[in-house]
Amino acid sequence: MQPFIDPAEIESIIQHTITDPIQLRDIIQKSLSKNRLSMQETAVLANAIDPDHIAMIKDGARQLKETVYGNRIVLFAPLYIGNKCVNNCKYCGFRASNKDAVRKTLSDDEIIHEIEALEDNGQKRLILVFGEHDQYDANYIAHCTKLAYSVKKGNGEIRRININAAPLDIEGFKIVKEAGIGTYQIFQETYHPEIYKTYHLRGKKADYFYRLTSLDRAQEAGLDDVGIGTLFGLYDWRYEVLAMVRHTNHLEACYNVGPHTISFPRIKDASMLDMGDRYFVNDKDFAKLIAILRLAVPYTGMILTAREPREIRDECIHFGVSQIDGGTKLELGSYSHTQNEEQDLNKGQFRINDNRSLNEIVDELLDHNMLPSFCTACYRLGRTGEHFMEFSVPGFIKRFCSPNAILTLAEYLLDYAPEHTALKGWEVIEHNLNELPDENIKTTLKVRLNELKNGKRDLYF
């Protein structure tokens, strides 16, 4: 396979693109029609510096998000399984040369205790995170996935497990697919091959091309639900945004399916962090690039984690972000044990900056009439890959997502929410139910809400 990222092409597009206000409006309108943008069109947005132009971009992103996703925000939690790692990445606390890192791999019993603690908080969606190490091969990832699905406590259960782990070969991706995983995330970190070498000093991850083509192998293995991402702060953010659009284009052209999610973590404090600030992305540019990505790839879920402070997350959910984590703890084994308020960077991958509990986030989303969602229906009904594209590209997914968000929120209110959150939540449900345009779905939804109140669980469209 030939590399599909051409650095010279991307740099040329950035350098030779100007932002014309008429062209800018046309590009935003194209996106609002739910059409993915080209690299050239994305560059017009990326090179905008006039405050009025940036406001147009954000307003367009806000409209698009409302059209495609409505007012729902999907919630999940990361669960770190093991932090052994053979790589030596200059930005990561897990790097092999970090002798101060406290290395740990959770035992099966510890995994069970962690998941029970997460279920006690109301979590239904997890992403399991692994370092890159021979111990964490495809069979081990599959084992942890099956174990996590098996844990039930009260009305608690995990209904979707995504994976963030090292690239696999085709056979490895087949193994984890058969275990029932959801999305397999692999972030390229930086799409610039020469810059990539300067950060990835040793280990399997030093092979730029093997990592770049990892999701092609996933698709060839039949794993059609994949997530891409860039670690902002390694290189020019405009280059990385265009490269992710190019990666999306490649997946669509070769496999007729784009990424299910796009992530955009930003460099944060980590043990042994060895970074300059040349490519530091400030808050204004970070918010801008999120809005641009929303417009560039209208159908894709966008994830913003607790790396970012609450102020940034609260802002960006309005014009791009559709998934956030809540109640996040990074130190291995910390969900089931009391954790000190001060995070120990030698026990985690990086510093988190939003320490709110899951219920605090749910409560604040409700204050803004947003729908916290724990929905897993698309994955479990086979609406992934091409099937997901059929629903989401034209925007029809909102027809299913809002009712399913209401049902999963109702479960949370019945089983886990304190009284003040429950009272607020039922008011938000009533308001959003009345706003649904389809009378048949509205009628069915009312029936299912009553069934939930009478003890049934796991109902969805």
How would you classify residue 210: left for phi > 0, otherwise alpha for psi between -120 and 50, otherwise beta?
alpha
Alpha helices in 161-226 (DSSP H): 170-178, 193-199, 208-212, 214-220
Residues 230 and 199: their CA atoms lie apart, in Å, by: 13
Instruction: Select from 343, 312, 92, 117 the least CA-distant residue to 202.
Output: 92
For the chain, give percent helix, strand, coil, nearest 5. 50, 10, 40
pTM, to two decimals = 0.94
Quote the pLDDT of residue 345.
82
Quote the pLDDT of residue 272.
61
Residues of the chain with pLDDT below 70 are 1, 270-272, 338-341, 379, 383-398
Quote the pLDDT of residue 394.
62
Per CATH, the number for 72-380 is: 3.20.20.70
Residues 150 and 360: their CA atoms lie apart, in Å, by: 28
Residues 240 and 266: their CA atoms lie apart, in Å, by: 12
Residues 432 and 60: their CA atoms lie apart, in Å, by: 23
Per domain, the residue ranges of the chain are 9-65, 72-380, 392-453
Residues 138 and 176: their CA atoms lie apart, in Å, by: 6
Quote the pLDDT of residue 198.
95
